[in-house]
Chains A and B, each alone.
Chain A
Amino acid sequence: MRLEYFRLIDRILEFDPVGRTIRAEAVVPTESPIFEGHFPGHPLMPGVMLLETMAQASGWLIIGLTRFNRMPFLAAFKEAKLRSFVTPGQTLIATAKLTHEGSGFAVTESEIVVEGKRVCNADITFRLVDFPSPQFRTGMREVGVAIAFPMEAVANG
């Protein structure tokens, strides 16, 4: 997890295009300038970063289901709940399930589990658009490879 670059997902553990689910791992770094301010002497993973982690897990799910043909952009969170503190060094397991595929938008349910305990969950809406440029799509594919997204599952895209 590279908090300062908003690169939050470290590894895709499972992508199920039939069940329309994804499971991803994200390890909170032990050190980051963010923890110097949030909070001094009491470092906590900011809640907005937990929301972003769920959004990114959902985003990889949607990118995979659309075979890297549509780019999801975050539009809305609903029923977002931050249930427990998350601290440096903890391993997050983020899961997402596509609950609705509309025309130009998609909705997921996502949650993060730490050591078997759910720490947050939300319903998330995305707008789906064509990739703004071929370079953008190529860049996302490169990131996908770096985080072990199963490219063979979307090979025909």
Chain B
Amino acid sequence: MSSTFDTVANIITETCDIPRDKITPESHAINDLGIDSLDFLDIAFAIDKTFGIKMPLEQWTQEVNEGKATTDQYFVLQNLCARIDELVAAKTAVKL
């Protein structure tokens, strides 16, 4: 079973034609990988489908716009993967 990071990195590679070896846990999706908002919609779609979650992009965007969070918290891949793991865990907890 591949890690959340491997899954997300593969999604980014397939969606945005970014070489897999350029994607690291420390990569910032926007600042380092140059992913724009439209491509990020595709990535979010694939992540939602793959993990069976609904990433709260609007909430994250609002938090960034209001200065309550930085883009690093959501768009540095290791942080993004941690958020995904939290959402998956929350979904699993609800089912139990």
> Interface residues, chain A, CB within 8 Å of chain B?
75-76, 100-105, 107, 125, 127
Q: Is B14 an interface residue (CB 8 A)?
A: no
User: Does B59 sit at the interface, judged by CB under 8 A?
Assistant: yes
Chain B contacts for A100, CB-based, 8 A: 45, 48-49
Q: Which residues on B are within 8 Å of A, measured CB to CB?
A: 38, 41-42, 44-45, 48-49, 54-59, 61
A102 and B42 form a contact (CB under 8 A): no
Taking CB atoms, residues of chain A closer than 8 Å to B57 are 102-105
A-B contact count (CB 8 A): 35
Asked if residues B61 and A102 are in contact (CB atoms below 8 Å), the reply is no
Interchain CB contact under 8 A, B55 and A76: no
The answer for the CA separation of A76 and B39 in the assembled complex, in Å, is: 10
**Pair B54/A103 contact, Cβ less than 8 Å:** yes
Shortest C-beta distance, B53 to chain A (Å), equals 10
- Which residue, of A103, A107, A125, A127, has the highest number of chain B Cβ atoms within 10 A? A103
Q: CB within 8 A of A76: which of B41, B44, B49, B54?
A: B41
Q: Is the CB of B44 within 8 A of A102?
A: yes
- Name, among A101, A102, A125, the residue most crowded by chain B CB atoms within 10 Å (CB to CB): A102
Closest to B55 in A: A103
Q: Provide 18 A-B residue pairs closer than 8 Å at the C-beta atoms, listed in order of the A residue.
A: A75-B38, A76-B38, A100-B45, A100-B48, A101-B54, A102-B41, A102-B44, A102-B54, A102-B55, A102-B57, A103-B44, A103-B55, A103-B56, A104-B57, A104-B61, A105-B57, A125-B42, A125-B45
